[in-house]
Structure 1
Amino acid sequence: MEFGDDLDLVCTERYGSRRMQGYVEDPDGRLRCVEERVDGSYRSLRDFFTSVFLPQGYPESVSDDYLTYQIWDTIQAFASSVTGTLATQAMLRGVGVGDETATVTAATLTWILKDGTGMLGRIFFAWMKGSKLDCDAKKWRLFADVLNDLAIFMEILAPAFPTCFTIVVCIAGLCKCIVGVAGGATRAALTMHQARRDNMADVSAKDGSQETLVNLAGLLVSLLLIPLVTDNLQLVYFLFFVFTSLHLYANFRAVRGIVMDTLNQSRLAILVQHFLRDGWVLTPSAANPEEPLFPVFQRRLTVNLGAPLHMLVTRKSDLEKAQEGNMKNYLLTWNRSSEAVCVAMHEVAGSLDMIQACVHVEILNVLLHKDVGQYRMQASTLRTLQKRASEVPHHRVWETVMETHQLVDQIFPEFLKGLIASGWVTDRHLLDFDEWRADWHLLGKKSE
C-alpha cells in the first residue's frame, strides 16, 4: 500500500488488513484523510462484496481454513441447488401435476405422510446421535451430503414406480430430515471453529448470505434447464450424475480443508501413534489431513467414556484393584473377551484428565492391535506389555491395566507439552464423554 511521495503524513490507520488510510495537515491546520493509491473502482467493488458476503474483520476474524472451505462449500451448494430442482420437478410430476386423473386429496395425503415421516425421523435421529455430531463434525457433515444426494436420487426415481411412490418419497423425506439435523448441527460446530473473535453470529449470517446468492445462481441455471429436461429422463439422469459428482467432490474437498485444533478421538489416535513412533506431536495442519472421513473397518477397542461405575466393577475388591497404583481422576477397565474398555471419570475431573484418559485408551489400543516394533518411544516397555496383554489370563487383567497406568505416567507429561507447543487446544475438547461422574474415595473419607 502506497501513499503519494509528496504527502507529509501525520498518522495512518487501517481497517483490518484490507484498507489503509493516512492523515495530512492542511494549511488551515485541519487533518485531511487520504487513502492509499489503489484503483478506486476496483477497490470499491471489492470492498462492497467483502462487506456483504464476508465476516467483519476478514481474514483476521476467522480461521485460516475459512476461505478454502467456503469456496468448496459454495460449489457444492450450487450443485445441490440444481439437483434439488430436478428432484422437485420429479416430485410434482409424481403427485399428479399435469395429470387430469390425479386428485388434490391424494397429493395432499402423500405430502403429509412424507412430512410426518420426516418429522419423526428428525426427532429420533437427534435423540440417537445428537451428542456425536460435535465430536465428529467432519464425518457427519460428509454423511449428511451423501444422504442428501441419495434422497434426491430417490425423489427423481419415484415417479417411475407409481405403485411405490408414497413409500419412496416418505423414505426420501426421512433422509432429508436427517440431513437437516446432521447438516445444521455440524454447520454450527464448524461456525464455532471458524469464528475467532466470538463472532459466530456474523460468520453464520454471512454464510447464509453466501448460500442465498449461490441458490439464486442455481435457480437461474435451473430456469434454463427445466424446459430442456421436461419429458427427457435420460437428460435428467445425466445432469443428476454430473452435478451429484461435482457435489460430492466439492464436499470432500471442503471437509478435507478444515483444520480443527480441538481434539476428538480420531485426531488424538493419530497424534498418539505418531508420538510413539517419532517422538513428537503433529501440528493441527499436519494431523487433520490424516483424519478418516469415512468409516474405517479396522480392529479397534470398543470404548465407553464417562461410563457409570457398575460397567467397570461389580465388587468392592475390583474397585480397590482399579485404584491400585492409580492417582488419576479416572478409572479404566479392560474386558479382554469383549475387547471393550470402560472409563469412569471422577467428579473433579477436568479437560486434561479426559485427554489423559483417552491417551491411555489409545495406548491400550496400540498394545492390543498394533505392531509395536515401529514405535521408538518406550519401545522395550511397549514390547513387554504387548506380550503380557496377549497372554494374560482374565483374573490378572487388573495387573496389566496397572502397568499401563505407569506407562501413561511416563508418556503423558511430554505428550501434553507437545500438544501445547504444536498449537492444540487443551482447555476444551471434542472427546465423546458421557455425563456420569463418580467419587470413589468415600471409604477413605469415612475412615478419616
Structure 2
Amino acid sequence: MPIFDVGRAHRYLPYHGLQFVEAILGTLVSVLCNQALLVSVGVSAEGSIFGAVAVQWIIKDGAGELAKLFFIRKYSSFFDSHPKTFNLIGAANVLFGSGLQIASLIVPSTATYFLLCAAGGNVFKMIGGAFWFTTHIKFVRCFAQQGNTGDVAAKSESQASIGQLLGYAAGIGLLAVSHSAPYLYSIFALTVPAHLAVTAWMLRVATFELLTLPRLSHLADEFVGNREVVSLKQLEAEKKTGLFGEFYKRKENAYVSLTPRLEDIITTDSLKDRRIWDACMHAFDVRILLSSYLTK
C-alpha cells in the first residue's frame, strides 16, 4: 500500500484497505457473470452464425449505455450532496445486475431470454458503475490533502488493479471446481452480503468533514436548544443525520435551507422568496457593518 508522508488524509489507509477487499469481491462476481454469459451464448448460438451472437452482445452493451445516460441526467444534481449514498446504491446495482446475468444459465436457451438476462443485468451494472465513478471523484479529492488529486487517483487505481487480479485468480480457482448454476449462485449468495458490508464499512470510514444541510440543521437545533455546538465525532456517533450524514432523520428536522439562487429571485413572482432574499441580504449587511465597527 502506498504511503504519503503529508499529502494524504488520516483515513486514507483504512478506506483503501477496504476498497482493496471490495475490488477482489467485485471482480470475483464479475468472473461468475462472464462464465454464465459465455455458457449461455454457446448454447443459444448452436446452429446459428457468429454474427447473431455479436448482435446480441452489442444490444446488451447498447442498452446499458442508454440507461446510464438517463440515470446520470436524472440524478446528477445529488452526486455532490449524497456521494456515499449513491456509492452504496451503485454497488447494489452492480450486484443485482450480476445476479440477473448469472440467471442466463437457468432460463431457456433462446436469444430472447439471453437478452433479457444479459442486457437487463448490464443495465444495472452500468448504472451502478456510473454512480461509483462520478462519486469516487469526491472521495479522491477528500483524500488529496495538498491538491495531489492525480497522485491519489493513480495510487487508488493501482490498488484496485491488484485487487481485481486477485479477484480473477479466486474466480478462476472456484470455476475449476464446477460450472453449474447452483454452484455459481451459492458463491454469489455468499459474496453479495460480504461485498455490501465491506462497501458500507468503507463509506463509514471515509469521514467527510463537510457541513451538509442535515448536519447544519442538527447543529442549529442543538445550539438553539442547548447553547452548545457538538463536534463532528459526536454528531456521527448520534447518527441523527443518517448512516452517512446525508439525510434528515425526520422531515421536520429540516430547520435550515439554502438561500434561493439569484436567478430564481429575478425570475420568480413569489413574495416569500423575495422576503427570504431580503432577510439574507440584510443579515449580510449587518455583519459587514459590525465587522467594520470592531476593526476601528
Q: Tell me what 2:39 maps to.
A: 93
- Between the aligned residues of both structures, percent identity stands at 21
Deviation sequence 1:361-388 (CA, Å, 0-9, x none): xxxxxxxxxxxxxxxxxxxxxxxxxxxx
Distance 1:322 1:202, change over 3 A: same
* Equivalent pair of 2:242/2:249 in contact (CA under 8 Å): no
Structure 2 letter corresponding to 1:270: H
Q: Tell me what 2:124 maps to.
A: 175
Q: How does 1:359-398 map to 2 (within 5 A)?
A: none
Q: Tell me what 2:155 maps to.
A: 206
Q: Tell me what 2:140 maps to.
A: 191
Structure 1 position 171, deviation (Å): 2.1
Which structure has greater helix proportion?
2
Deviation sequence 1:261-304 (CA, Å, 0-9, x none): 11222332333333344332232333345242487784456978
* Equivalent pair of 1:54/1:203 in contact (CA under 8 Å): no
Structure 1 position 96, deviation (Å): 2.1
State how many pairs are aligned. 276
Please tell me whether residue 283 in structure 1 is matched to residue 231 in structure 2. yes
Secondary structure of the 1:271 match is: helix
Q: Tell me what 2:15 maps to.
A: 69
Structure 1 residues 133-142 or 93-102, which shifts more?
A: 93-102
Distance 2:274 2:133 in 1: 45
* Alignment match of 1:241 (pick from 189, 193, 196): 189
Please tell me whether residue 313 in structure 1 is matched to residue 263 in structure 2. no
Please tell me whether residue 254 in structure 1 is matched to residue 202 in structure 2. yes
Please list every run of 5 or more consecutive structure 2 residues that lacks an aligned counterpart in the other structure: 287-296
* Equivalent pair of 1:55/1:61 in contact (CA under 8 Å): no
Structure 1 position 249, deviation (Å): 0.5
Secondary structure of the 1:214 match is: helix
* Alignment match of 1:156 (pick from 99, 102, 108): 102
Distance 2:95 2:159 in 1: 21
* Equivalent pair of 1:259/1:288 in contact (CA under 8 Å): no
* Equivalent pair of 1:154/1:169 in contact (CA under 8 Å): yes
* Equivalent pair of 2:144/2:152 in contact (CA under 8 Å): yes
* Equivalent pair of 1:77/1:214 in contact (CA under 8 Å): yes
Distance 1:283 1:149 in 2: 36
* Equivalent pair of 1:73/1:254 in contact (CA under 8 Å): yes
* Alignment match of 2:56 (pick from 67, 89, 110): 110
Distance 1:305 1:182 in 2: 28
Distance 1:285 1:107, change over 3 A: farther
Distance 2:9 2:156 in 1: 14
Please tell me whether residue 121 in structure 1 is matched to residue 67 in structure 2. yes
Distance 1:159 1:297 in 2: 42
Distance 2:107 2:273 in 1: 64
Distance 1:101 1:227, change over 3 A: farther
TM, length-normalised to structure 2: 0.81
Which structure has greater strand proportion?
1
Distance 1:180 1:321, change over 3 A: closer
Q: Tell me what 1:292 maps to.
A: 242
Q: Tell me what 1:446 maps to.
A: none
* Equivalent pair of 2:29/2:98 in contact (CA under 8 Å): yes
Q: Between the two structures, name the one with larger relative contact order (CA 8 Å, sep ≥ 6).
A: 2
* Alignment match of 2:115 (pick from 148, 166, 170): 166
Q: Tell me what 2:281 maps to.
A: 329
Structure 1 letter corresponding to 2:192: T
Please tell me whether residue 140 in structure 1 is matched to residue 96 in structure 2. no
Structure 2 letter corresponding to 1:218: G
Please list every run of 5 or more consecutive structure 1 residues that lacks an aligned counterpart in the other structure: 1-52, 331-351, 354-408, 410-448
Larger radius of gyration between Structure 1 and Structure 2: 1
